Amino acid sequence: MFQNMMDKSVAKSPWLFHVNAGSCNGCDIELVAVLTPRYDAERLGFRLAGSPRQADIVVVSGPVTRQTRDRVIRTIEQVPEPRVVVSIGSCPRSGNVFKGSYAIDGPLEKWVHVDVAVAGCSPKPEAIMAGLAQATEILKQKRKEMRK
């Protein structure tokens, strides 16, 4: 019974951890906009976690650079299972305008499994909210499979 209550409460309040993998900060600004009162993602239960060990969903923005690659991978590995990885913007998927640069070591999917990719440069807050909602459904499914 207690476990059932915990499962229901955790399912409705996924915590996010944001990782900047070398972005221009356009996607970061849009992610912050999602958390402000205008879009108010907190009403849907989303909160930023202070540590990856407290998070359920990892949000990655920016192209994966040679300097950030190991740190991004290590940070994602610190998030407990089941976890969902969300990439926001075009950079984690393709490198966008930075593609072909000597400093870029992406895409992110080359290094970790990405569950949800929110496209755009930079994506609108509504698209980010839709991607986070999709990530929540994937997280629920992963938790259900883990219990079996």
For 67-116, the pLDDT digits (tens) are 888 999 999 999 988 899 999 988 888 877 777 788 788 788 888 899 99
d(CA 36, CA 96): 27
Tokens 């915990």, located at residue: 6
Classify the phi-psi angles of 93: left when phi > 0, otherwise alpha if psi is within -120 to 50, otherwise beta.
Answer: alpha
Distance of CA 84 to the CA centre of its chain: 7
Mean pLDDT of the chain: 84
Average pLDDT over every residue of 29-43: 85
Identify the pLDDT of residue 102: 80
Per-residue confidence band for 4, with pLDDT thresholds at 50, 70 and 90: low
Average pLDDT over every residue of 42-69: 87
What architecture does CATH give domain 2-143?
3-Layer(aba) Sandwich (3.40)
